[in-house]
Every structure is written in C-alpha cells, then in structure tokens.
Amino acid sequence: MDIGRPRPRRAQVVGRIAAATVLAGLSVTVATSSASAVPLSSESFAGARISSSGWVIGSPRGADSPCATAATATVAGFLPACREVVDGRAKADPDGGGAFRLTGNSGFNAGSLLLDKPIKAERGVRFEFDMYQYKGKPTTGKFGADGIAFWIVDGAETKVDAGEGLGYKGLSGAFVGIGFDVFGNFSGTPGTPGTPGGPGGPGLKPNSVAVRGSAAAGYDYISGKSLDPATHPLAIDAATRRADAKRHVTVDINSSNVMNVRIDFNDGKGPTPVVTDLDLDKLPRQEPLPKTLKVGWAAATGNAAAVHEIGGFSARTLDADLKLTVTDNGPWQGGRTGAYHLDVAVNPSLGWSDDPVKLSWSVPAGVTPTAASGDGWACTIAGRVVSCTSVTHIAPGAHYPPVRVDVALGTSVSGNAVATGGIEAGHDKVTSTVSVKPAAIKPVLGKAVVKISSHPNPYVAGDKFTYTASAANPGPGAMNDATIAVTWPPAFKPLKWKCTATGGAVCPAADGTGDIDTTVDLPAGGALTYTQVSTMPVGVITSFTASVAVVAPGSGCTADKPCVAAETNRPPLY
C-alpha cells in the first residue's frame, strides 16, 4: 500500500481533522428479538444535499477532493460537490443515487472523512457501511490501489489527527483500525513506506483485511485475513459502475471488547467473516473499550489507483443474540410425568439482553404442562402452550436462569413426542423429541379370597387337629408380588406345614416350619393352600387363634387394609 509513503512525489494522508462541537451521545439499549436495535447514527451519502454537521473532511491531497457524488454545487453547511462536477467536466449522480468519494482514480490522491459525534458503546455497537473500490489502474502489479481504512477512535478525543498508512499511523485517539487493503501495505512490517507502523506485520498482503491496534499499543498489527481475489475481491478494477463493486461491511464490537467483521461481497452468498471473535482486551497494551466512539474512513492512491467510495453508513446498538437449548429427563412412559429444562444463553460475541425476553414452548398432543417456573421468569400455561417472560438484564456470554416445565403424559402417548418452541419472533424454532414407552396396562383386580379353618373345632385334648389357610385370586387380572403371611398359634411353634397350589399358582416352598411370610404371583384363578397337622396336648383348655393376611399391589388388599381371615380353636365345653 502506498498510502503515506514518505518519498518525493508521493502524497501523505496528513493534516489535522479539527474537532467539531461534541454532541451528546445517544443512549444505548441493546434489543433482543422483541425490539429492533436502537439507531445511533446513519447517513446514506446518496443525496444531493447532505448536511455537513458532524462530518469532518480530512486534508485532501492530489487532483481530487473528497466529495458527495450526487451534489451539484458546493454549498456552505453541506458536504461538497466533486471538483469535476463543479468545473463542468462531469455530471453529478442522480439525487438519491450517490456516494461519498474519498478518492478518484488519479494517482497520488488521499482523502478521509470523520464522524465527529461520539457514539455510546458501553453495551456494544454495530457499524455498517457500503464500500466501493473500482475503476482500478494497476501499474506493475495485479491490483489498483490502495484500499479503504475504517477507523474507530476514542469518542473522548476532541481533535483527531490523521496520519500515514491509510490515515491510521499517527491517528490521535485511535482505538482500532481495519484496513480493507487492496494493495497490501496495511499489513506491512515496521519501516515499510505506507505502513501504519507497529511490530508484527507479516509484510505485503494484497486483497486482505488487516487489523491494527490502538495508538497506545503503537498501532500494532493484530491480525489479518488474505482473501482469494478470484472469489472474494475487495475491488473490481474493471468495473465502471459503482454498483458492480459494492461490498457491505459490518463491524461489531460488544461490551466485552470482542470484535467481529463481516463482508458481503454482493454475490448472493451472504456475509463472509473476516475477523472472528477478536478479544481486544487480551492484546498487549490495547486500551479497554471507550465509553464512546467516533469513526472515520480514509483512502489513497499512488502509482496505482482506483476510485474509493463509501455509502449506506449506520451505527446502532448491538443486538443481543439469544439461543434456546432444551433438555429433558426422558425417556418417558405414558401415564407418568416428565420435565423439560429450557436454557436461554446470550451470544458472547454480541450485545446485552436488555429488553423483555419472551419464551414459548408447546408440548405434544396428549401431554399436559402442569407447572412452569424459573428464577426471574413469569410463566403462564394455556392448554399445551407455556409462555414465560423475563425482564432480567443479561450480559453477553451469560445465561438466564433455567425454566423447568413439568408435564403429565396421557396413557395414549407413546413413540416419539415432539415439542416445539422458541424465543419469540425472529428466532429459529427449537424442536425436542422425547422417546415415550407405552403406558403400563394395569389389570383390573379385585380382592384376594382368604380363608382359614381348623378341624376339629372345638379340639379334643390328646387328639390330632388341623389348620388350613388359603389365599385365592378370583381375577380377572394376575396379582403379582402378592404377600401372604400366615401366623400359627403361638403355643405350638414351630409347627410343620405343607403347601399345595392350584389354578396355575406355584408354591414358593413345598413345606416348612413356623409362621409364613412370602411373596408370590397369583394368576387369575390361582390359589395357595397351607396345611399343618398337630396333636393337642392332654390337659390343654386354652383357646388358640391363627390368621392369614394378603397384600397385593393394585388389588383391594392394600398395606393399609390387607385382606385378613382368622380362626380361633376352642376347647370343648365342660
């Protein structure tokens, strides 16, 4: 790049850009998708009469002066018309079809433009503009020259001095400079003519985007990206129409001092990132993000030349970019409960989330939201739709408190249950799919039939007598995990017993001694019968009681109200 090269017959981009009256900054409110970002400044440069208030043109060099291409005359209070228009050598662009020309394509030209109005940047700012580099006149190289630099300056500076290297070397109050560098010297090494200065430059990098640090950091080279001139040319040297060389630039700096730069090459493919998540705070001697910023542009030509123009400028507060992530505690089962967990994160590369955030989540058919809550969220439920709003201010890179949505699943729900939602209009929908197992089919059960008897009753001392205890399932469904407890008369423990099974039931043990406490599965129509035979001792005249109890899940025999039968065997009456 030949800008500011200290040699004979070579113009330097020098001169004082005197400060205009500093205007009060505009308030910054970063909007989420619920509101548009707040405009801070804009100028299309397309009109015939553009107020010069706040705009300061740098000291031009060469045959052409910076000018508004649609202006027909130079009038006090407005940006000037181009010299060839004033002289009658060319026609002005139509009103509404112009741009601001930094240089024409004659050799050894230089021009700059500063917006001398502080723009609040504490919570992030987005700058956008169009640039045009065309009608190139290469010399021995492949490219016209030189390029366009976009400066970002501390808004507290009351005077801004431009310098060499596309106006950036020596720029007073410089915070960061971005060179859209056709010729390549913005990436030059120290001492290279036309280089902004500072260590670290890799050398000549044609058709590249390079970033230089603040004045306090010595305008150091920070980073750069070489672009393929066949697919991503910064300039169209052969173009004679401005529209054919349009490049739309977006520069984002968030409140954490992270910068992103993108260029739309007007090829229908959308913006191309050229600087990604550059953390300026981590750079040696780089200053923190100022509370306010000023911006400007510069361009120059040398032996090689090109037309350099800008248009479509705007500055606005940086949007917050929110991302919704959904998790769940699945897999679920029909007839039971589940929960979604909704997490909203703020993109660390963009702005604060200041405006109310509205979250909507629609659960699948057959699923009913029963509760929704999260710290700082106000949630409502209408049918299958959960709506939550938060007014909490969240910084870039942080997360809102999570929202929990509890749901109840109908017994008919099975397979894949798909829920959808998002963060209000303007955001992509999020889909969550949960695998749901069919509901467990619980058979209709009645009560177990429990019986116990003794024979003979009354007993005869000195003779044998028998206790018989049984538990039967009348159906219609199986009684699984049923507990059977038999308590024999305490005076005769341990008594020996035997078990018999009917109706498809199975005895856990064929025989045993003492009381019984066992768990069994009783099919419908199945029964277990426990029998014990003993001899009543001579001289006994006491009554004895035995019992049987059944508890079966899902039946009428519950732990609180088991199905019980008891039998008391008495002595004969004398």
CA–CA dist 186, 206 (Å, integer):
9
Closest to 86 measured CA to CA, from 99, 73, 69, 102: 73
Domain shared by 166 and 297, yes or no = yes
CA–CA dist 226, 205 (Å, integer):
7
Per-residue pLDDT, 382: 96
Domain shared by 138 and 53, yes or no = yes
Domain shared by 301 and 420, yes or no = no
Does residue 88 lie within any of the structural domains?
A: no
Task: Report the C-alpha dihedral over residues 505, 509, 513, 515, rounded to 10 degrees.
Answer: -50
Per-residue pLDDT, 425: 54
Peptide bond into 206 cis (omega under 30): no
Does residue 407 lie within any of the structural domains?
A: yes
Cβ atoms of residues 185 and 339 within 8 Å: no
CA separation, residue 32 to residues 350, 354, 426 (Å): 11, 7, 9
Strands (E), 45-89: 55-57, 67-68
Q: What's the N-to-C CA distance of the chain in angstroms? A: 131
Does residue 79 lie within any of the structural domains?
A: no
Domain shared by 417 and 466, yes or no = no
Q: Which residues pair with 246 in a beta bridge?
A: 132
Residues 6+ apart with CB under 8 A from 411: 334, 335, 439
Structural domain range at position 52 = 16-67+94-317
Does residue 443 lie within any of the structural domains?
A: no
pLDDT tens for each residue of 481-518: 899 999 988 766 678 899 999 999 999 999 999 899 99
pLDDT tens for each residue of 44-87: 999 999 999 999 998 667 667 899 999 999 999 999 999 999 99
Domain shared by 269 and 124, yes or no = yes
Task: Point out the domain boundary residue: 411, 437, 463.
Answer: 437
CA–CA dist 50, 143 (Å, integer):
32
Domain shared by 178 and 220, yes or no = yes
Does residue 229 lie within any of the structural domains?
A: yes
Domain shared by 218 and 334, yes or no = no
Does residue 50 lie within any of the structural domains?
A: yes
Domain shared by 267 and 333, yes or no = no
CATH number at 254 reads: 2.60.120.200
Which of helix, strand or coil describes residue 137?
A: strand
**Tokens representing residue 471 in the block:** 């538990």
Domain shared by 408 and 480, yes or no = no
The count of domains in the chain is 3
CATH number at 466 reads: 2.60.40.1530
Domain shared by 32 and 111, yes or no = yes
SS3 for 547-565, per residue? Answer: EEEEECCCCCCCCCCCEEE
Domain shared by 374 and 456, yes or no = no
Per-residue pLDDT, 9: 27
CATH number at 407 reads: 2.60.40.740
SS3 for 277-333, per residue? Answer: EEEHHHCCCCCCCCCEEEEEEEEECCCCEEEEEEEEEEEEECCCCEEEEEEECCCEE
Within a 10 A sphere around the Cβ of 148, how many other Cβ atoms?
30
Q: What is the mean pLDDT of residues 436-463?
A: 82
- The residue whose two tokens read 């990604």 is 276
Does residue 82 lie within any of the structural domains?
A: no
pLDDT tens for each residue of 178-230: 999 998 888 877 666 555 555 567 888 999 999 998 988 888 899 999 999 99
Domain shared by 547 and 482, yes or no = yes
Task: Point out the domain boundary residue: 317, 336, 351.
Answer: 317
pLDDT tens for each residue of 283-310: 888 889 999 999 999 998 888 899 999 9
Task: Point out the domain boundary residue: 437, 469, 486.
Answer: 437
Does residue 8 lie within any of the structural domains?
A: no
Q: What is the mean pLDDT of residues 442-446?
A: 64
Single-letter residue type at 145: A
